[in-house]
Chain A
Amino acid sequence: MILIVAEQRNGVLNRASWEAIAAAQQMAGGMPIGVLALGASVGDAAKELAQADVAEVLTGEHAALGQYTPDAFTMALKGVIEQKKPAIVLMAHTYQARDFAPMLAARLRVSLVTDVTGIGGEGASATFTRPMFQGKLTATVRPAPTGTVIVTVQIGAFRADKVRRGGSASVGPVEIAIDTAAIRQQPEAPFQEAKQAVDLSQAERIVAVGRGITSQDNLPLAQNLAKAMGAELAASRPICDSGWLPMERQVGSSGQTVAPRVYVALGISGAIQHLVGMKGSRTIVAINKDADAPIFEVADYGIVGDLFEVVPALTAELEKK
């Protein structure tokens, strides 16, 4: 079977779990699909998941799973995998999966293929494509045959709206065994640093800067373009890490996800962590000196050139008439 580990918090399913179901349906090749919801109480999530065209939805409930810890999740999943013996375990490549999936694979001594964007073939003989070298190359990999293989799929790579729905899935509990004394992490409640003052997700137009801007002193160049376009200013992670722009203006997997009518990427190479936050934009413009930068893979319009020349020219052009 293929076992999907769905992610939920306080009964709310992570949308990316539907993407993992889409990936599982694509590669099943006749194998039954099971979906596992883990938590202290997952009834609502399970009911929602049962709308998918899958064989069964498993509820894995335990008080120690109420607050996520890698130790508890690994113990719980190891037990489920040993009971169900799935050929493939699939989940979304979320921060949570990144935290426990390698531990689970290491403890079970099975292969783990992460950040998968495509699947070739079906069943246990499937191969997987995934980005390498910051998205400059795509690798096709074959996991070592270790009985079970664990796979995480990149967020956005498979389409949740393509999930076949059926509604005939059985819903039932699966036994969860956790030695609570062996949980070493003590988590506190999640929090947000500050109420975000800038809601980039609502912006119609965004001008975003990346490393190519080279210095904080050059930011006015981008600010002027943003002003001429009536756009909000945003940035990739390294710019906010350097303190050149506040964290609230960061677009990407650890910042905001945006989908404006037009997104202008200045000197942004297009690391996958950035692309996941902006590739839903309607029109994407990339200006970059490197013609091979991955940002051009998602761009509708591209200019290969020196942004220190192109951006002032663009601002001047917009300010005409």
Chain B
Amino acid sequence: MKIAVCIKQVPTREWQPRLTDDKTWIREQDASFEMNEPDAYALEEALRLREKLSGEVVVCSAGPARVQQVIREALARGADRALHVEDNSLAAADAAMTADALAAAMADEKFDLVLTGLQSDDQGHAQMGVILAERLGIPHSTIIMEVQVSENRLRVKRELEGGWFQWIAMPLPALLTIQSGINQLRYATLKGIMAAKKKEIRKVPLPAGLKPSQEILSLSLPVRSKQTQMINGTSAEAAKELVRRLREEARVL
């Protein structure tokens, strides 16, 4: 089985936002990056399927040179090789443009299964995987919590809202967007890190003429919907003051 996993590199959770002077993107030089968490679960699911069914796992990513960091990490965790659509303009690309870029690079590979995270922790459009499926001409399902493969068919458990689930069957090839928590992640071993250095990363140029579907006019810190009363002091002082306010002001204790 030939499995593709689309991964994105995003700022780390600890990153404190700082903006470019025109306030339309983040200052990337101040950010440190990591693998988008839902994509890490998609990668793990792909590795588990390969262990069960044999075949290969190919990491696909669209972004500037910096995304090699997460590609190498995915190879160290066990992916076999990688495709990298490299272009600086992809750093802030929206979901439609990223999907078009990946579709062009992936079409000839004829993957049996394409996995990716359900959304990215940066722009968070929650669109890329589904658009990619449409561009590749294959069926999809989203927010998947379990994957079963038999013969040329797929049966997947899709998460609905409020604790509901649903099984859905479809033919292969297909694309799934994976929900965080579908499995337990593995981490790279030293042996894996060494092996990754010899694995192929094929660079693919960005096809000409791709257009974004939306333009970021500005980024800003969110407007607070509530006036938060911040309580300062040492931990003991703050604890005491919070309990007093919850009892006397809010009257909830």
| Cβ proximity bits A52-82 to B, threshold 8 Å, 1 near / 0 not | 0000000000000000011100000000000
Assess whether B163 is in contact with A310, with CB atoms less than 8 Å apart.
no
Which residues A167-188 have CB closer than 8 A to chain B?
184-188
- Complexed CA–CA distance, A146 and B26 (Å): 27
Secondary structure at the B interface, as helix, strand, loop or mixed, is: mixed
- Complexed CA–CA distance, A187 and B157 (Å): 10
Q: Does A316 contact B (CB under 8 A)?
A: yes
**Which partner residue on chain B sits nearest A142 by CB separation?**
B215
Assess whether B143 is in contact with A302, with CB atoms less than 8 Å apart.
no
Give the distance to chain B from A277, nearest Cβ to Cβ, in Å: 10
B contacts with A, residue count (CB < 8 A) = 80
**A102-B95, A137-B221 are contacts. A283–B252 as well, Cβ < 8 Å?**
yes
Give the distance to chain A from B97, nearest Cβ to Cβ, in Å: 10
Assess whether B166 is in contact with A95, with CB atoms less than 8 Å apart.
no
Give the distance to chain B from A255, nearest Cβ to Cβ, in Å: 7
Q: Does A219 contact B (CB under 8 A)?
A: no
Assess whether B253 is in contact with A95, with CB atoms less than 8 Å apart.
no
Q: Does B58 contact A (CB under 8 A)?
A: no
Contacts of A32 in B (CB 8 A): none
Assess whether A105 is in contact with B26, with CB atoms less than 8 Å apart.
no
Give the distance to chain B from A10, nearest Cβ to Cβ, in Å: 13
Contacts of A95 in B (CB 8 A): 142-143, 159-161
| Cβ proximity bits B1-43 to A, threshold 8 Å, 1 near / 0 not | 0000000000101111101000000100000000000000000
- Complexed CA–CA distance, A144 and B121 (Å): 23
**Interface 9-mer from B72-80, B81-89, B187-195, B206-214:** B206-214
Give the distance to chain B from A134, nearest Cβ to Cβ, in Å: 5
Q: Does B135 contact A (CB under 8 A)?
A: yes
**Which partner residue on chain B sits nearest A314 by CB separation?**
B239
Q: Does A34 contact B (CB under 8 A)?
A: no
Partner of B181, one of A140, A240, A248: A240
Partner of A98, one of B13, B142, B166: B142
Q: Does B133 contact A (CB under 8 A)?
A: yes
**A95-B143, A292-B17, A305-B238 are contacts. A317–B161 as well, Cβ < 8 Å?**
no
**A191-B164, A314-B243 are contacts. A301–B231 as well, Cβ < 8 Å?**
yes
**A144-B211, A317-B239 are contacts. A257–B131 as well, Cβ < 8 Å?**
no
- Complexed CA–CA distance, A318 and B236 (Å): 12
Assess whether B235 is in contact with A306, with CB atoms less than 8 Å apart.
yes
Partner of B161, one of A253, A262, A310: A253
Give the distance to chain B from A265, nearest Cβ to Cβ, in Å: 12
**Which partner residue on chain B sits nearest A310 by CB separation?**
B235
**Interface 9-mer from A18-26, A35-43, A110-118:** A110-118
Q: Does A298 contact B (CB under 8 A)?
A: yes
**A112-B127, A187-B168, A205-B252 are contacts. A237–B181 as well, Cβ < 8 Å?**
yes
